[in-house]
Amino acid sequence: MNPTAYIETSVVSYLTARSSRDVVVAAYQEVTREWWRDAAVRFRLVASELVLAEAGAGDPVAARDRLKVLEGITLLDASPDAEGLARRLLELGAVPREAAADAAHIAIAVTSGVEYLVTWNFRHIANAAMRVRIEGACREAGYEPPVICTPNELMETGYADEGD
């Protein structure tokens, strides 16, 4: 069975947004689109009601596009265990209190046992300094955390074709 990847809202946003003039953002968008092309073949893609709520906010046309790509993706529940872990992540400072939604994304993914949490959120999730605190808090609560990564980190490369 394929590994499970929780798709955090930033991935959906980069996937569906108009190309940015910012070269870094444009590169993230292109990587996301490339990763998405075969993601459903390589991973069991999941999200949550929180992702749907965030994706559905804002500009109605952009929201429609974001929600469309989420159609058919399995939604994970925000269980009482997830709510408790989210509170714990905030209490321990693994995620700042003003980023409670980010703590919820992490907690839902963790308590559901996903292998990967895929995000472009470098501020509160895919951040090397915070990742250590997030993983520690999860393990302290008795959970094995997923690999927190960007789509770029989950890209398949043709290793056999590289000639090394």
pTM for this prediction? 0.92
- pLDDT tier at 157 (50, 70, 90 boundaries)? low
- Judge whether 155 lies within some domain: no
Q: To the nearest whole percent, how much of the chain has pLDDT over 90?
A: 91
- pLDDT tier at 159 (50, 70, 90 boundaries)? very low
- Judge whether 18 lies within some domain: yes
Show the domain range for 44: 4-150
- Judge whether 159 lies within some domain: no
Other Cβ atoms closer than 10 A to 10: 24
Q: How many domains does the chain have?
A: 1
What do you get for the CA distance between the two ends of the chain, in Å?
30
Residue 94 belongs to a domain with what CATH number?
3.40.50.1010
- pLDDT tier at 160 (50, 70, 90 boundaries)? very low
- Judge whether 24 lies within some domain: yes
- Judge whether 56 lies within some domain: yes
- Judge whether 158 lies within some domain: no
- Judge whether 160 lies within some domain: no
What does pLDDT average to over the chain?
93
Looking at residue 51, its pLDDT comes to 97
Q: What is the mean pLDDT of residues 17-40?
A: 95
pLDDT for 162 beyond 50: no
pLDDT for 42 beyond 60: yes
pLDDT for 112 beyond 80: yes
Residue 162: DSSP 8-state = S
- Judge whether 96 lies within some domain: yes
pLDDT for 74 beyond 70: yes
